[in-house]
Amino acid sequence: AVANIGVVGLAVMGSNLARNLASREGNKVAILNRSRSKTDELLAAHPEAEFVGTFSYEEFAASLAKPRTAIIMVKAGGPTDAVIDELVKVFEPGDIIVDGGNAYFPDTIRREKAVRETGINFVGAGISGGEEGALTGPSIMPGGSDESWITLGPILKSIAAVAEGEPCVTHVGHDGAGHFVKMVHNGIEYADMQLIAEAYDLIRRGTGKTPAEIAEVFAEWNKGELESYLIEITAEVLRQVDAETGKPLVDVILDQAGAKGTGAWTVQTALSLGVPVSGIAEATFARSLSSHPEQRAAARSFPGPDEEFTVADADAFIEDVRQALFASKIIAYSQGFDEIRAGAAEYNWTIDNGAVSRIWRGGCIIRAQFLNRIADAYAEQPELPLLASAPYFADALARGQAAWRRVVIAATQAGIPSPAFSSSLAYYDGIRAERLPAALVQGQRDFFGAHTYKRIDKEGTFHTQWSGDRTEIEAEDTH
């Protein structure tokens, strides 16, 4: 046994993670892949990593020092289960199996329970940062047992990104907590991306600026409170010119967005938990809408507004869009953290939202200057009921709300879809409302289904006898 850590699955993410591990002091990395050629290629391409190449699960297990620790980097779903089954056969109690893929957290809960019965530890770890992050330093969100964290913690700290002097990894919580938090990370990623895309679309159609010119707007925004990886790469994408046609690349890319499922999981889970993640939901639906060309063709002749959309003062409009983007982004993160709070309560995890915000400051796709403010907010008030209500964010929303409304009005009048901007604003107005028409919904429910209601002026549960004399009676609470 010579290696202290192993990696199974050597596609790009796996091989980059293996190289990252090998480059850190004190690590010796065993590698294994289903097909032999990938292992041979990696050994040949990176002799400096001094990998221990292995070609069977037995050889892999024999090469690892105890407690054996292996990170699986294969496709989520069936392939992950297949590798776990093989590892369980050759590992022993106390060893640690880590799934570093984008697993759906209920699968992680199920796998953890099954593997634990063999005495082996199973850790579902979310890893964010794409191919580059895997190689140079990702943000890592491990779940699993406290016991496995003792061995795994130092290894993961050695390869994680560093932000403000701290490694971007923390023991998020037990069993599926790590993959749950990674799922919400991706949901926020969807919202962030959609909001940026809406901002681009509005500026382009309102001011007539070219993609290259709008790239400069984003580069400028990246110097302020919106500073983030996604804003930075947006400027890069908008600057790119297609070699074949000489057009901006963004104009030749088919406008149908793909999705591998993590955004949908975030929304499905939020629906079950009763958490309104409307920004994330609209971002996910916007991708779905884009990907139905036949429906879009069928609707293409629907009329839009009569007037051309032009803004009188381009700079003022761009500043409004910037503020609308920042305000909507606050809502998206606030909703995401709300889902983590609700998930922790439902699944009995102790998740420190402050720690989550700190490990998202570096390495991951949603890394942003603004996560420092989130970390400050949770440091100030760990049990914050609503992130958006922390003073810094409440102030930013108050400052930005007028511009936000102007942008949503302009988009609506111009017939430019802005589902993420407008749903975030609707959430803002909903959450701050003194009274909501939910009272009427309760009345309707009571009318057709005797679902009862509560009153603002006295304790108890009530029902109006709608089909009788319409007097009110006290009733059993049926929700």
Residues annotated as catalytic (active site), given as ranges: 182, 189
**Distance in Å, CB of 414 to ligand 6PG, minimum:** 28
9 is in an annotated binding site: yes
Nearer to ligand 6PG, 288 or 295 (CB): 288
**Distance in Å, CB of 228 to ligand 6PG, minimum:** 13
CB within 8 Å of 11: residues ≥ 6 apart: 38, 73, 74
Nearer to ligand 6PG, 129 or 143 (CB): 129
Nearer to ligand 6PG, 189 or 282 (CB): 189
16 is in an annotated binding site: no
34 is in an annotated binding site: yes
Between CA 198 and CA 195 the distance in angstroms is 5
Between CA 343 and CA 439 the distance in angstroms is 27
27 is in an annotated binding site: no
Nearest to residue 352, comparing CAs of 324, 387, 379?
Answer: 379
Between CA 251 and CA 389 the distance in angstroms is 39
Nearer to ligand 6PG, 318 or 365 (CB): 365
Give bridge partners of residue 122 from the DSSP assignment.
Answer: 97
The closest residue (CB) to ligand 6PG is: 128
287 is in an annotated binding site: yes
Nearer to ligand 6PG, 61 or 169 (CB): 169
Tokens, residue 6: 């192993």
C-alpha gyration radius of the chain: 25
Nearer to ligand 6PG, 16 or 222 (CB): 16
Nearest to residue 329, comparing CAs of 233, 238, 425, 473?
Answer: 425
**Distance in Å, CB of 270 to ligand 6PG, minimum:** 16
Amino acid at 397: L
Nearer to ligand 6PG, 175 or 189 (CB): 189
**Which residues would be at the binding site for ligand 6PG (CB under 6 A)?**
102, 128-130, 186, 189, 258-260, 262-263, 364-365
Nearer to ligand 6PG, 17 or 123 (CB): 17
Q: Is 411 exposed, middle or buried (0-12, 13-18, 19+ CB in 10 A)?
A: buried
**Distance in Å, CB of 123 to ligand 6PG, minimum:** 17
Residue with token string 């429910």: 445
**Distance in Å, CB of 192 to ligand 6PG, minimum:** 11
Between CA 140 and CA 177 the distance in angstroms is 12
Between CA 72 and CA 11 the distance in angstroms is 11
* Region class of 342: left (phi > 0), else alpha (psi between -120 and 50), else beta: alpha
Between CA 112 and CA 107 the distance in angstroms is 8
116 is in an annotated binding site: no
**Distance in Å, CB of 263 to ligand 6PG, minimum:** 6
Q: Residue 419: is the preceding peptide bond cis (ω within 30°)?
A: no
Between CA 417 and CA 139 the distance in angstroms is 33
Nearest to residue 12, comparing CAs of 74, 60, 68?
Answer: 74
**Distance in Å, CB of 186 to ligand 6PG, minimum:** 5
83 close to 8: Cβ distance less than 8 angstroms: yes
Element (H, E) at 77: none
Element (H, E) at 72: strand 69-72
**Distance in Å, CB of 365 to ligand 6PG, minimum:** 4
35 is in an annotated binding site: yes
Going by the DSSP 8-state scheme, the letter that residue 467 receives in this structure is T
38 is in an annotated binding site: no
- 448-453 long-range CB contacts below 8 Å, 24 or more apart? 450/475, 450/478, 451/478, 451/479, 452/476, 452/477, 452/478, 452/479
Between CA 2 and CA 224 the distance in angstroms is 48
226 is in an annotated binding site: no
Strand pairing report for 162-163 and 96-99 = unpaired
454 is in an annotated binding site: no
345 close to 175: Cβ distance less than 8 angstroms: no
119 is in an annotated binding site: no
Residue numbers belonging to the annotated binding site for NADP(+)? 9-14, 33-35, 74-76, 102
Residue numbers belonging to the annotated binding site for substrate? 102, 128-130, 185-186, 190, 260, 287, 445, 451
Residue numbers belonging to the annotated binding site? 9-14, 33-35, 74-76, 102, 128-130, 185-186, 190, 260, 287, 445, 451
